[in-house]
Copies of this chain bind each other. A is one copy, B any other.
């Protein structure tokens, strides 16, 4: 609104109850609304190529999972850059999920316990990211295996370029899947971080005690409550224990389910990679083997060259102008016939000699295991 607040972006604000709004907020307004420091907002920056991240902060969860960017608070979701076509299915899902009555089917089955608003949205983000990565992986799978098989049967620049492009895509996709997986694993490993993400509960705690000083106490509940109990009223102790802990359970189950899914996706990518590596090894051995066959062929042909060349020597000897008996001009029919016979003797002798020497050479080569 103010001129001074540079880089104000359009945000779609979807509250848990009520109408969604499209507002343009400056960076500082967002910081005030969500209690996030400026550096956390950078995660959502459309220019910077941040990897997938889930940050649980004091009053908000910052989510960047693949294309889905959002700031989730206890009461509303802020989605930046909501005009892109890539976000359309996410937004329509978000709307339909939020508009459905709290007692929807799944919740009923779970004993009518409605998950808090922030987890409904977080699950949706995870679902979309996982589905997106899964579908990309599947389309890569569909393309990669035939391309690799094709390369295996015929090495050509075209096939190589295709495979190279696919590998590049695979590396990129693996990186992104791995990143989401690591993020989930990291959250699952740290109970504190998960507890931090119960925004609704933290809010209600604050409302209860009516004092800001209790704002963070809940977060350490799992450590503190033993001592808390002794100080506070002992009666609410079991209740608190029951209330606080199942929810970590709830988030853990949610994250675990998507962790399993993304792990399966990563597994598929790993298989493509292994297949590609094996194909490369295979091609290398094939090319080497081919090369040796060609060299063998070359050796056999060069042997032939030597032998035939030797034949030329023999024949050329008789072409020398040193006159010997054999070259005397026949003087009568008998001599002519004899001369004819000599000619054929020489010719056939040379030819058969060459062939014999060649066969002998090849036989020797095979015997010495150089030729196969």
Contact = CB atoms under 8 A, between A and B. Distances in A.
Interface of A: 28, 31-32, 35, 37-40, 42-43, 48-51, 53, 55, 57-58, 105-106, 108-111, 155-157, 160, 164, 167-168, 171-172, 175, 179, 213-217, 220, 224, 226-227, 229, 231, 234, 237-239, 241-242, 245-246, 249, 253-254, 256-258, 260-261, 263-264, 267-268, 270-271, 274-275, 278-299, 301-306, 308-313, 315-330, 336, 339-340, 342-343, 346-347, 350-351, 354, 365, 370
Say what secondary structure dominates the interface of chain A. helix
A323 B319 contact: no
A289 B287 contact: yes
B280 A287 contact: no
A232 B91 CA distance: 51
Given A109-B28, A257-B40, A316 B312 contact: yes
A339 B322 contact: yes
Contacts of A37: 106, 109-110, 253, 257
A263 to B, nearest CB: 7
B370 A294 contact: yes
Contacts of A309: 305, 308-309, 312
Contacts of A241: 216-217, 220, 224
